[in-house]
């Protein structure tokens, strides 16, 4: 018991240094300015900084491009939503990999992404709107279905296995995702006139994002990230094994439920706004782990910043690679993410040998 306590103290003291925080923040800021500057219409990076300063400090500058203010009101909220979505999805993947002790785990492992996508598709196919709310029907339905999905999976897992073991939750999540996929196929078949909108949603896109959606993402991220970051020590213990976590006094069942609910809220919000965006939660934690190590005290905050940088770059590629046409961001993240994961996996196998 004393050995386990010493291990817990050892792994909990190693936090991310201040200079690494500053480096990650600087990377996010530089990527943000770069992504806002480049698009269908290119803007000088000085105009981008001046425009932001005008809105923050109330100053007035003259812009080299006359349409800069109009473009910025569209591009800035989009890039903000992309960054916040990247942070949320990456954090979900990192916490799920630690919780489930599975390198292939991410937020969608629970089936929450599939459930949220089903809610949005139902709203699109049947023209479901929400009266007296400024949010669109697909957004509200996606969030409701996301929470409903995790509650259903946890209920079934509880009935099958009172301890809510990891294997039971993962198995039910996979089965649930397959079941939801079949329902989506049926809906798509009978809603052929909406197939373009449904397909675009399932591919993921943050085109037309607003400041309202950015505030929603920010609010959910602040709450859920605080919950997940507070469980860094517990995730370190889970990475060694559930028996180790129990032996040092961690309430395994309560910790697992807390993290799963927080992950579900984050994924439901992201999918409700941007659709299904894959591979962010799978690739980014592995890339970040190669930089800062496996300690969740360092890994979780670093993954937040890395996720923002990664998805902003992916969104930029989606916007400019076939300019003026735009690719769905989910297609770009899946294509590039799959290639990156193969290289990461190959490098990991080579190191273990």
What single string gives the DSSP state of each residue in 241-261? -HHHHHHTT--HHHHHHHHHH
In the prediction, which pLDDT does 9 show?
Answer: 42
Domain ranges of the chain: 2-352
Residue 329: which of 198, 199, 205 has the closest Cα? 205
In the prediction, which pLDDT does 55 show?
Answer: 74
Name which residue leads in pLDDT, 304 or 68. 304
Residue 290 has pLDDT above 50, yes or no: yes
In the prediction, which pLDDT does 78 show?
Answer: 93
> pLDDT class for 147, splitting at 50, 70, 90?
confident
Residue 227 has pLDDT above 80, yes or no: yes
Task: Look at 36-40, 157-161, 193-197 and tell me which has the smallest mean pLDDT.
Answer: 193-197
3-state helix, strand, coil in the chain (%, to 5): 80, 0, 20
> pLDDT class for 28, splitting at 50, 70, 90?
very high
Residue 67 has pLDDT above 90, yes or no: no
In the prediction, which pLDDT does 150 show?
Answer: 83
DSSP state of 15: P
Token pair, residue 11, equals 């792994």
> pLDDT class for 135, splitting at 50, 70, 90?
low
> pLDDT class for 316, splitting at 50, 70, 90?
very high
Token pair, residue 256, equals 């697992």
In the prediction, which pLDDT does 238 show?
Answer: 87
**Among 1.10.3470.10, 2.70.70.10, 3.40.630.70, 3.40.640.10, what is the CATH number of 2-352?**
1.10.3470.10
> pLDDT class for 39, splitting at 50, 70, 90?
confident
The span from the CA of 205 to the CA of 202, in Å, is 9
Question: Mean per-residue pLDDT for 174-191?
Answer: 88
pLDDT tens track for 68-99: 666 778 889 999 999 999 999 999 999 988 88
Residue count of the chain, please give it: 353
Q: Is residue 147 within 8 Å of residue 154, measured between CB atoms? A: no
């Amino acid at each position: 018991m004393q050995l386990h306590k010493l291990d817990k103290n050892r792994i909990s003291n190693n936090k991310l240094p201040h200079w690494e925080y500053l480096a990650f923040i600087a990377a996010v800021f530089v990527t943000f300015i770069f992504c806002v500057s480049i698009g269908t219409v290119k803007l000088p990076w000085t105009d981008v900084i001046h425009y932001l300063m005008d809105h923050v400090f109330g100053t007035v500058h003259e812009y080299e491009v006359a349409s800069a203010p109009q473009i910025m009101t569209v591009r800035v909220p989009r890039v903000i939503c992309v960054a916040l979505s990247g942070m949320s999805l990456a954090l979900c993947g990192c916490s799920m990999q630690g919780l489930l002790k599975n390198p292939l785990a991410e937020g969608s492992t629970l089936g929450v992404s599939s459930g949220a996508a089903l809610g949005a598709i139902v709203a699109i196919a049947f023209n479901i709107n929400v009266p007296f709310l400024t949010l669109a029907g697909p957004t509200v339905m996606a969030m409701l279905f996301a929470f409903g999905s995790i509650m259903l999976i946890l209920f079934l897992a509880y009935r099958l296995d009172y301890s809510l073991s990891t294997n039971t939750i993962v198995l039910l999540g996979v089965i649930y995702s397959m079941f939801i996929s079949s329902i989506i196929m049926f809906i798509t078949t009978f809603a052929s006139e909406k197939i373009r909108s449904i397909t675009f949603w399932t591919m993921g896109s943050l085109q037309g994002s607003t400041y309202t959606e950015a505030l929603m993402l920010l609010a959910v991220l602040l709450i859920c990230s605080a919950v997940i970051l507070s469980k860094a020590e517990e995730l370190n213990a889970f990475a060694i094994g559930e028996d180790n976590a129990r032996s040092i006094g961690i309430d395994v069942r309560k910790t697992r439920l807390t993290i799963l609910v927080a992950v579900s809220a984050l994924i439901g919000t992201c999918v409700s706004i941007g659709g299904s965006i894959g591979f962010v939660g799978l690739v980014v934690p592995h890339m970040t782990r190669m930089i800062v190590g496996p300690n969740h005290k360092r890994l979780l905050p670093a993954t937040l910043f890395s996720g923002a940088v990664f998805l902003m770059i992916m969104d930029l590629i989606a916007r400019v690679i076939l300019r003026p046409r735009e690719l769905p961001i989910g297609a770009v993240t899946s294509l590039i993410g799959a290639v990156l994961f193969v290289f990461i996996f190959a490098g990991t196998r080579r190191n273990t040998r």
